[in-house]
Amino acid sequence: MVLVTPEQIAAIMALMPLPHSFAELDRLVSAGLPKQALKASVERVCSSAEERKQLLHRIIPEATYKRRRDKLIGEESGRTERLARIYATTQYVWNSDDDARAFLHTPHPMLQDQTPLDVSLTELGARRVEELLWKLYYGLAA
């Protein structure tokens, strides 16, 4: 049973048309997502312009981002998809954009007092954050 769908993840990245399977989403990521996908994801995750700028350049260095014309390379696309997936999962669990952003930006004791956003910048960290989110969702001891 999939609770967070590829459509939800793609919607965070403002991809059109929306992929209807994880295989389709994977093909898009492998081929290189549009540069706009990262910008759309960062805008959903961060409230202020300064936060958006800092997060964007943590995912892709500023000079590299400026060099990209239309598409991100595979690794950058993967990081963009990961950010959108974590946000989509957080939004699903909290059922609120404001609560999702608050969760992502607040240090959590189960993440060694790091913010879920900071932890999720690596794939293994993202898995830890997803595990925590599902424990919270199902009311398990987190």
pLDDT digits (tens, 9 = 90+) for 83-115: 999 999 999 999 999 999 999 999 999 999 999
Stretch 13-38: mean pLDDT, rounded? Answer: 96
Q: What angle do CA 90, 114, 136 make, to 5 degrees?
A: 35
How many C-beta atoms lie closer than 10 Å to residue 130's C-beta? Answer: 18
Residue 142 has pLDDT above 90, yes or no: no
CA-CA distance, 20 to 124, in Å (whole number)?
Answer: 25
Report pTM: 0.93
pLDDT of res. 1? 53
Could you report the per-residue pLDDT of 39-81, keeping only the tens digit for each?
Answer: 999 999 999 999 999 999 999 999 999 999 999 998 999 999 9
84-93 burial, b at 16+ Cβ within 10 Å, e below that, comes to bbbbbbbbbb
Single-letter code of the amino acid located at 17: P
